[in-house]
Structure 1
Amino acid sequence: MQNDDRLDEVINDLPHGVALSWGFVKQSTRGPKGELSIKQIVDAAIAIADKDGLSAVSMNRVAQSLGYSTMSLYRYITGKEDLLILMQDAACDIPIPPDNPDADWRENMREYVQATIQVFRKHPWMGDIPIPSIPTTPNNLQVIDWALRFMRDFPLNDYEKMSIILLLSSYARSSGIIQRDMDRAVQSGTSPETFSGFYYTAALKRLVKPERFPDLHPVVASGAYTGENESDNTVGNDFDFGLERILDGIASYLERKETP
């Protein structure tokens, strides 16, 4: 009983939306029983955000999409702030691969980063929600638990492991948002070649003069800046190249830690 009392005490310290994500908030008994559920509300909000963006999500719009009054929603969720927390957590409900102790840690980290990037591409609005604190909702924590699995046998302390997760997650977030923006542009009719800058090659070669841009000039002149010579690229796409250099850095750090 004392443990239950203590649990109630610490739960009260959580934001209301976070407590809802853990299923700790008792629902109002007012109104017809079972007419709605938190999952239905969150799923409807995500559908709106996926189609029309985060700014289109409101308690009124969600209620209308479900065929209920706005007040009906408030018996389950206190407001948009809580709804955004629940939407984020739902978007993080991604398949977690089974544990394989023999798997290569680099390959596992690649899989983690790619899965995180896809969350931002599947739900473009994810990158529009400010980060309020450390992750505290269950699905988000499940993803972190997955990432920690890769470092189970690393000669690192907990601070170092969490710092590596922050590094990987930050790269995945920035890469995901960039790829999301590219997806949006292509969907609106922009040519994929625009992103490489290929169409601007001739203009940039005339504008980027060595007197003003001494180090950028040779890169532009070679065609590397605008993807003019993609056939010379032997390192994969930009995102893969960056990730591999991060993994190289982690490997180098591990070697230093393991050396007496």
Structure 2
Amino acid sequence: MTSEEPIEQLPRGIALAWGVAATPQRGPKREMSVEKIVDAAIEIADYEGLGAVSMSAVAKRLGYTPMSLYRYVSAKDDLLLLMQEEATGLPPESEEENTAWRVRLKELYEAQTTIYRRKPWLLAMPIMGSPITPNSSAWLDAGLEALSTTSLTQDERIAASLLVTGAARWHGSILAGYQQQGRASGLNADEVSERESQLYDAVITDDGYPFLRRAIDAGVFTSEFDPFVFGLDRGLDGLTEYIERVGRERERVHVDDSGSAQAEGWSGEEEEPDDAATDTPQGIGDEDPDVVADKKYREAQKAVKQAQKVLAEARKRERQVLREAKERVAKRR
């Protein structure tokens, strides 16, 4: 689909998520809605897992026939997409104004990990490309907003955001696995770790696996040390060092959001030129077209930065309004 094609060309599931899909002209009682179908499907997933979700199971839960549901949600893949959208929700607002990018990314990481812990069935969702839905887009936008004041290009900001998302998903996968094992065995988290350590201790020998044996003897499987936070922190350490390095490099050659060099020698900030640098031949001064053009270019850059800041605030307000609207709708149900 090209950007010139009408919004009606959106796939049905995505159109439903954005609230631009056509409402069915005929159907069962007025009590039926896409929202109620999605809520029923999520309830099934919460109690029985994603594998138990089917159009017939959802219809039975609501007291309708499967064909009645297809008037609202035309395919199971669309239903899964809407379930993911609803369960993911919107990203949390930053706890403080002007939060440092690293602090903000860790907030998003912790929030995503919490969602996976509460809704482990999300991890069983088939990945079929980027979920182009409002809430999923808001999470990505929040990561990009956190990095908007850094020297990274747009490509690099996306990559850094995916680093955090991937770390949260991996941590969530492990937590979900331990939760499932705990439910099956009746053990709590500490008891599961202790049992795991005992199993390793029974089969790992110093002759066959000397380095793993040393780790076991050091108590790594029952330690309170968090390897996932450690891994994320080291990744962010590397990102911090990279941002500082490329920031210095791009002060010499400015790189715009598309990754193209724009003006050699541009530092990204207004600087007072020293006297020696401003000495110009008699009669030229500020009238020199090159000087005027350079000044206008820097003024334009300042205007762009200010506009980006205003846009970021507007988007933040937009997310807040959407969150409040969803809360009002939920209270009315």
Alignment match, 2:205: 208
TM-score w.r.t. structure 2 length? 0.68
Partner amino acid, structure 2, of 1:142: A
Alignment match, 1:199: 198
Aligned length: 244
Taking the aligned partners of 2:129 and 2:245, their CA distance within structure 1 comes to 32
Alignment match, 1:47: 43
Partner amino acid, structure 1, of 2:74: T
Q: Give unpaired runs (5+ residues) of structure 2.
A: 250-333
Measured against aligned partners, the alpha-carbon deviations of 1:79-136 in whole angstroms (never above 9, x if no partner) come to 2111001111111213531585421222211110111112211111111111101130
Taking the aligned partners of 1:113 and 1:39, their CA distance within structure 2 comes to 28
- The CA deviation at 1:33 is 6.1
Taking the aligned partners of 1:38 and 1:135, their CA distance within structure 2 comes to 18
Taking the aligned partners of 2:127 and 2:30, their CA distance within structure 1 comes to 33
Partner amino acid, structure 2, of 1:239: F
Residues 59 and 178 of structure 1: CA distance in aligned 2, closer, same or farther (over 3 Å): same
Residues 199 and 172 of structure 1: CA distance in aligned 2, closer, same or farther (over 3 Å): same
Alignment match, 1:223: 218
Residues 29 and 114 of structure 1: CA distance in aligned 2, closer, same or farther (over 3 Å): same
Residues 258 and 134 of structure 1: CA distance in aligned 2, closer, same or farther (over 3 Å): same
TM-score w.r.t. structure 1 length? 0.85
Matches within 5 A, 1:87-166: 87-98=83-94, 100-166=96-162
Q: Percent identity?
A: 36
Structure 1 contact 201–223 (Cα < 8 Å) conserved:
no
Q: Which has the larger radius of gyration?
A: 2
- The CA deviation at 1:50 is 0.7
Structure 2 contact 92–108 (Cα < 8 Å) conserved:
no
Q: Give unpaired runs (5+ residues) of structure 1.
A: none
Partner amino acid, structure 2, of 1:194: V
Taking the aligned partners of 1:202 and 1:39, their CA distance within structure 2 comes to 50
Residues 69 and 201 of structure 1: CA distance in aligned 2, closer, same or farther (over 3 Å): closer
- The question of 1:243 aligning with 2:238 is answered no
- The CA deviation at 1:219 is 2.5
Residues 162 and 202 of structure 1: CA distance in aligned 2, closer, same or farther (over 3 Å): closer
Partner amino acid, structure 1, of 2:164: L
Taking the aligned partners of 1:255 and 1:56, their CA distance within structure 2 comes to 49
Partner amino acid, structure 2, of 1:200: L
Partner amino acid, structure 2, of 1:92: T
Residues 162 and 128 of structure 1: CA distance in aligned 2, closer, same or farther (over 3 Å): same
Taking the aligned partners of 1:6 and 1:250, their CA distance within structure 2 comes to 37
Structure 2 contact 40–62 (Cα < 8 Å) conserved:
yes
Residues 29 and 11 of structure 1: CA distance in aligned 2, closer, same or farther (over 3 Å): closer
Shift >6 Å, 4+ stretches: none
Alignment match, 2:242: 253
Residues 191 and 35 of structure 1: CA distance in aligned 2, closer, same or farther (over 3 Å): closer
Measured against aligned partners, the alpha-carbon deviations of 1:147-186 in whole angstroms (never above 9, x if no partner) come to 1121010101100000011111111111111111112222
Structure 1 contact 63–73 (Cα < 8 Å) conserved:
yes
